[in-house]
Amino acid sequence: MPRDADLDQIFAALADPTRRALLSALARGDRTVGELARPFEMSLAAISKHIHILAAAGLLGQEKAGRAVTCRLLPEGLRAAGIWLQGVGGFDPEDYDALERLLAVALGEDGRDQ
């Protein structure tokens, strides 16, 4: 079972719509910080702060190659949140479809425009 402090960081990171959008982009594949920042009307420094929060929560990893920093989704953090949600009775053990729907909504992949 994940520690409470870890879950606090994960859920705090997921609480922000920009960070959920960043995770949604990473769910489609690795991206550089510049590629992640492109669709947003905010500074690269602001995007970097969001990325730092996601990394501290264990939701994304970074790799530096030269001047480019590439980010990738780390699904273990989302899995930890899902396990906790399942443990508090939000899901039947067999109802993984409901968990997938919840994670899709949390990542902004529920079909609504962002």
- Give the contacts of 30 (CB within 8 A, at least 6 positions apart): 70, 71, 72
The answer to whether residue 110 scores a pLDDT higher than 80 is no
Domain that holds residue 31: 4-106
Q: Kindly state whether residue 114 falls inside one of the protein's structural domains.
A: no
Number of domains observed in the structure of the chain: 1
**How large is the average pLDDT for residues 91-108?**
70
Q: What is the pLDDT of residues 59-90, one digit of tens each?
A: 999 999 888 899 999 988 888 888 887 777 65
Q: How confident is the model at residue 52 (pLDDT cuts 50, 70, 90)?
A: very high
Q: Kindly state whether residue 62 falls inside one of the protein's structural domains.
A: yes
Buried b (16+ CB within 10 A) or exposed e, 14-23: beeebbbbbb
The domain that holds 42 is classified in CATH as 1.10.10.10
Q: Kindly state whether residue 113 falls inside one of the protein's structural domains.
A: no
Q: Kindly state whether residue 34 falls inside one of the protein's structural domains.
A: yes
